[in-house]
Amino acid sequence: MQDFTITTKMTTKEYASVMLFGLYKKPGFIIVTIVGLFLLVTSILNYLKITDYYTNTPIIDFLLGLLFLFSPALFTLIAVRQFNSNPNFQYNIKYTFSETEMKVEGKTFKGEFLWTHIIKQKEIGKFLVLYHSKRMGNFVDKTKLTTQQLQFIKLKVGQK
């Protein structure tokens, strides 16, 4: 396929929704959220004297339940603060895809990644996340790609 380029800028709102959606899909966070909901509900039911699950006031369980229930939102809040503190994300980012590599170019940075260095891909909402390490990746806006271009990227990431 011939080289192609897209230019995109991710907003804070888009980043927050992608992070929140991605975290709530992870099995670990699902389990923590369910445990948090359980602790919260049992604490409230015990306080209202509907059940007699606890022998004394379950303040700690109530607080832990709140923390567990909203932990993905807290992680998202931290990630959004980091996103907003990095001035590189306030400008357009240009992605160029070729047969051998993906180039990423912003106002103050430039990176080139061979397809063999892209270790996995994940679709979250309208974004395709191309990971080049366990925790670092690039958010490519799928709405700016044609079906053929999206298939090309997915095939390239799948090849090792």
Sorting pLDDT into bands at 50, 70 and 90, what band is 159? low
Looking at the fold, whether 25 and 64 belong to one and the same domain comes out as yes
How far are the Cα atoms of 6, 103, 127 from residue 154, in angstroms, in the given order?
16, 16, 13
Looking at the fold, whether 108 and 80 belong to one and the same domain comes out as no
The whole-number pLDDT of residue 101 equals 92
Residue finishing a domain among 57, 85, 113? 85
Looking at the fold, whether 81 and 25 belong to one and the same domain comes out as yes
Sorting pLDDT into bands at 50, 70 and 90, what band is 50? confident
Q: What's the average model confidence in pLDDT over 125-146?
A: 90
Looking at the fold, whether 154 and 95 belong to one and the same domain comes out as yes
User: Do residues 62 and 44 make contact, with C-beta atoms less than 8 angstroms apart?
Assistant: yes
Rounded to an integer, what distance in angstroms lies between the CA atom of residue 104 and that of residue 82? 20
Q: How many structural domains are present in the chain?
A: 2
Alpha helix (H) ranges present in the chain? 12-25, 27-47, 59-69, 71-85, 147-158
- Structural domain for 22, as ranges: 14-85
Residue finishing a domain among 50, 85, 120? 85
Looking at the fold, whether 118 and 76 belong to one and the same domain comes out as no
Q: What's the average model confidence in pLDDT over 73-94?
A: 90
Sorting pLDDT into bands at 50, 70 and 90, what band is 48? confident
Q: Higher confidence at residue 158 or residue 50?
A: 50
Which of 29, 22, 26 is CA-nearest to residue 68?
A: 29
pTM greater than the 0.85 cutoff: no
Mean pLDDT of the chain: 89
The whole-number pLDDT of residue 49 equals 81
Number of H helices, E strands in the chain: 5, 7
Q: What's the average model confidence in pLDDT over 97-119?
A: 92
Residue finishing a domain among 69, 85, 101? 85
Tell me the three state secondary structure of residue 64. helix
